[in-house]
Amino acid sequence: MTPTPLGPIEEELAKARTAYRNWGRWGEDDVLGTLNHIDDAIRAHAAGLVRRGRSFSLALEFNESGPQRGFRGRINPVHYMKDTGSDAAAGTQGFPHGFGGADDHVVMPLQASTQWDGLGHIFDNKQAWNGRPCTIVNGDGDSVTGIEHMADAFTGRGVLLDVGRAVGDEHGELPDGFPILEEHLRATVEAQGATSTVRRGDLVLVRTGQLGRVRRLGEWGGYAAGDAPGLSFTTLGWLHRTELAAIASDTWGLEVRPHEFAEPAMSPLHQIAIPNMGLPLGEMWDLEELAADCAADGVYEFLLVAAPLPVTGAVGAPVNPIAIK
């Protein structure tokens, strides 16, 4: 479907900055943004959600067959071996007493696959999160809000909003270009029941079904940087009002593509959510197995542990999120 264009983009961005900017809310030195909504009580409650002990990895595999196709220089992970069993068999490793081993390396953009966007990833008019100049991110990385500060922050109550199943087609999928509105999020919560009610400090996962469609058709196609279902720019009010801690999806860019403006735009929801609201965004999460289990048992809340790799100064990082029910 073709999204209904919103007002002029500069006007909409200006209104959103005024309405949803969280600068100073957690002090001038803050490096966590909306992750501040998670406290010890929320984490303790989340741990108590584990009933069956069933765990789900929500990560795509990191390999050369991944989703990237070169946008902004992003390549798929390149994995190669430094030492192998063949080296050990040949006796060329030089270790004593029959010791042998294997070692491997990987080369990849930190946002090549399942990942979190950190607070230094996006700027708005040359300003980063909390009103800092965008120059805090230089050739050495993010000198203030690097992803390492969030290494233990992404632990709490996870909630799946399976919008694809609630309002999508017979495959549980939304078409590319479908803007997920607040009314769709509310309808999903109503369809799923009380366990999907979104609360302050939640880590919310939105399933569109796009990744499932990629698998069903057997090709990545335009998944990376192409058209996609996703959050409408108009959901920023819901994201701000619910005081959730972070949000992730099964698409490459989380927000709807193409965007909902008549004029050219570049990730307008990101432009407000990250540098203004302080909201970390997750992309390329594999929600298929978790969603099937939630549909089967009717429980859409779980303990979610989704720690990013703490690369010093990184503006985003890979993650292997684990949901435990």
51-69: pLDDT as tens digits:
999 999 999 999 999 999 9
Average pLDDT over residues 88-96: 95
Question: Does 5 score more than 80 pLDDT?
Answer: no
Residue 40 confidence (pLDDT)? 98
Question: Does 173 score more than 80 pLDDT?
Answer: yes
Average pLDDT over residues 254-275: 96
Residue 289's nearest CA partner among 162, 186, 111 is 162
Query: For 253-262, what is each residue's pLDDT tens digit?
Result: 999 999 999 9
Residue 251's nearest CA partner among 186, 173, 307, 315 is 173
CA dist., res. 199 & res. 42, Å (int): 10
Q: What is the pLDDT confidence band of residue 1, given thresholds at 50, 70 and 90?
A: very low
Question: Does 281 score more than 60 pLDDT?
Answer: yes
Positions of E strands within the chain: 55-57, 78-83, 103-107, 115-117, 137-138, 141-142, 155-162, 179-180, 203-207, 230-231, 246-249, 281-283, 301-305, 316-318, 322-324
Q: What is the pLDDT confidence band of residue 4, given thresholds at 50, 70 and 90?
A: low
CA dist., res. 294 & res. 288, Å (int): 10
CATH 3.50.30.50 domain span(s) along the chain: 9-72+110-324
Average pLDDT of the chain, as a whole number = 96
Query: For 96-134, what is each residue's pLDDT tens digit?
Result: 999 999 999 999 999 999 999 999 999 999 999 999 999
Domain 9-72+110-324: homologous superfamily in CATH:
Putative cyclase (3.50.30.50)
Identify the helix (H) or strand (E) that includes residue 9: helix 9-20
Q: Quote the percentage of the chain above a pLDDT of 70.
A: 98
Residue 6 confidence (pLDDT)? 87
